Amino acid sequence: MAKARSRAAVRKVKDRWKAKNWYNVLAPPAFDNVTIADTLADSPDSLINRVTGVSLQDLTNDFRKSHITLFFKIFKVEETNAYTQFAGHTLTSDYLRRMIRRRRSKIEGVYDVTTRDGAVLRVKPFATTDKRIQNSQRKVVREAMKKTIDDQAKTSTLSEFVNSILDGKIGSDIYKNCKKLYPVKRIELYKTEVISQPTVMMEEKKPKKEEKEEIKEPEKKEKKPKKKEKETEEVKEKPKKAKPKAKKPAAKKTAAKKPTKKTTTKKKTTKKSAKK
User: Cα–Cα distance between 34 and 48 in angstroms, integer?
Assistant: 18
Please state, in angstroms and rounded to a whole number, the distance separating the CA atoms of residues 111 and 150.
9
The overall average pLDDT reported for the chain is 78
The full set of domain ranges for the chain reads 19-90, 92-201
User: For strand 120-128 and strand 111-114, is the pairing parallel, antiparallel, or unpaired?
Assistant: antiparallel
pLDDT above 60 (res 64): yes
Q: Is the per-residue pLDDT at 247 higher than 50?
A: no
Selection from 113, 136, 135, 138 nearest residue 124 by Cα: 113
Asked if pLDDT for residue 274 goes beyond 60, the answer is: no
61 vs 57: CA distance, rounded Å: 5
What is the spatial distance between Cα 23 and Cα 268, in angstroms, rounded to a whole number?
110
* Residue 56 one-letter amino acid: L
Task: Please state which of the ranges 87-101, 133-147, 221-235 shows the lowest mean pLDDT.
Answer: 221-235
pLDDT at 259: 46
- Residue 36: closest CA among 84, 75, 76, 78: 84
pLDDT band at 253 (very low <50, low <70, confident <90, very high): very low
Q: Are 68 and 89 spatial neighbours (Cβ–Cβ below 8 Å)? A: yes
Strands annotated E in 201-244: none
Predicted pLDDT of residue 128: 93
Kindly state the average pLDDT of the residues 196-204: 79
Specify the amino acid at residue 15: D
Residue 62, pLDDT above cutoff 50? yes
Instruction: Report pLDDT digits (tens) over 28-54.
Output: 998 989 999 999 998 899 999 999 999
pLDDT for residue 83 is more than 70: yes
Q: pLDDT-derived band of residue 135, with 50, 70 and 90 as boundaries? A: very high
Beta bridge partners of 35: 26
**Residue 121 · residue 153 · CB < 8 Å:** yes
User: Nearest to residue 125, comparing CAs of 153, 159, 85?
Assistant: 153
What fold characterizes domain 92-201? Tetrahydropterin Synthase; Chain A (3.30.479)
Element (H, E) at 129: none
Is it the case that residue 209 has pLDDT exceeding 60? no
- What value does the mean pLDDT take over residues 76-92? 94
- Which residue did the predictor score with more confidence, 209 or 175? 175
Q: Which residue has the higher pLDDT, 239 or 50?
A: 50
Where would I find the beta strands (DSSP E) of the chain?
A: 21-26, 35-41, 51-55, 68-78, 81-91, 106-108, 111-114, 120-128, 186-196
Is residue 154 within a helix (H) or strand (E), and if so which, with residue range? helix 135-154
> Which residue from 26, 78, 29, 33 is spatially nearest to 52, judged by alpha carbons?
26
What is the mean predicted confidence (pLDDT) over 231-258? 47
**Percent of the residues in the chain that have a pLDDT greater than 70, as a whole number:** 67
Residue 5's pLDDT is what? 65
Exposure pattern of 83-110 as b/e (b: 16+ CB <10 Å)?
bbbbbbbbbeeeebeebeeeeebebebe
